[in-house]
Amino acid sequence: MSQTKPFEGQTALVTGASRGIGAATAIALAKAGAHVILTARKVKALEVIEDEIHAAGGTSTIAPLDLTEPDAVARLASAIAGRWDALDILCISAAYLPELTPVSQIDPKQFNQAMMTNVVATQALLAAFDKLLRRAPNGRVIGLTSSVGAGPRAFWGAYGSTKAAFDNLLDTYASEVEKLSPLRVAIVDPGATRTEMRARAYPGENPETVKAPEVVADRIVKLLQEDFPTGHRERIDG
């Protein structure tokens, strides 16, 4: 390990790695020395991120899949376990934003998609990678959340309720593993960030007025090097 490559020899899995905060985090982790497994639905978008990682001298593996498909996460875990003895870092960045509507008008199909992506897939990831994470000397789980999970906001009920469940799952998992392994869990609220998801939610906003995904990625990389207590939570402003 070196100061410039603090994660050299480590393996990281980043979901939602084809764009936004997930992509920026994957690139930042690769620059810091980790071999990054990139997961998202779109193959070509993942290949673009992989090319950027390789051009910068990093290493990565793409694993295109839909996290909501039955057994998809289990298959991914099996493939990773067949190649690596442990998983050092799991960054859960993938999320689905339903249309912003009053609770009384939530579209059932979109709500179900949000529940599957933001909640059910999260539990599946924690279950499937628990053993590999515990095998790592200092396993870390980072979950990307939203302020509407902790603080309900009008018209954000569909998304906010899934993020509240997301937070609860991660906090509960953190409590369960706290005394059983060195594995630690943190929840990060990226705050206002220049992503496609935010552009959909705030179509009239000038994207240049909010921070770039790389700002969040840099903070995540620094956090992963810190001795944070499991269950740690923070918001990234600025």
Which tens digits make up the pLDDT trace of 76-119? 999 999 999 999 999 999 999 999 999 999 999 999 999 999 99
Residue 207 in this model has a pLDDT that exceeds 80 = yes
**CB of 212 within 8 A of CB of 194?**
yes
Task: Note the pLDDT of residue 145.
Answer: 98
Question: Is 4 within the bounds of a domain?
Answer: no
Question: Is 177 within the bounds of a domain?
Answer: yes
Using one digit for the tens of pLDDT, what is the confidence trace for 159-188? Answer: 999 999 999 999 999 999 998 899 999 999
- For 115-130, letters b (16+ CB in 10 Å) and e give bbbbbbbbebbbebbb
Number of structural domains in the chain:
1
Number of Cβ within 10 Å of residue 151's Cβ equals 10
% of the chain beyond a pLDDT of 90: 95
The residue range of the domain holding 47 is 11-107+133-235
Using one digit for the tens of pLDDT, what is the confidence trace for 147-160? Answer: 999 999 999 999 99
pLDDT band (50, 70, 90) for residue 4:
confident
The residues, ordered by sequence, that sit 6+ positions from 233 with a Cβ below 8 Å of its Cβ are 186, 187, 188, 189
**CB of 61 within 8 A of CB of 37?**
yes
pLDDT band (50, 70, 90) for residue 3:
low
- Beta-strand ranges (E) seen in the chain are 11-15, 35-39, 59-62, 89-92, 140-144, 184-189, 232-235
Question: Is 94 within the bounds of a domain?
Answer: yes
Gap between the Cα atoms of 6 and 34, Å rounded: 8
Question: Is 194 within the bounds of a domain?
Answer: yes
For residue 218, what is the domain's CATH number?
3.40.50.720
Task: Note the pLDDT of residue 2.
Answer: 58
Question: Is 31 within the bounds of a domain?
Answer: yes
| Mean pLDDT score of the chain | 96
Question: Is 101 within the bounds of a domain?
Answer: yes
Gap between the Cα atoms of 86 and 139, Å rounded: 9
Task: Note the pLDDT of residue 146.
Answer: 96
Question: Is 83 within the bounds of a domain?
Answer: yes
Task: Note the pLDDT of residue 179.
Answer: 86
**192-204 mean pLDDT:** 92
Residue 1 in this model has a pLDDT that exceeds 60 = no
Question: Is 187 within the bounds of a domain?
Answer: yes
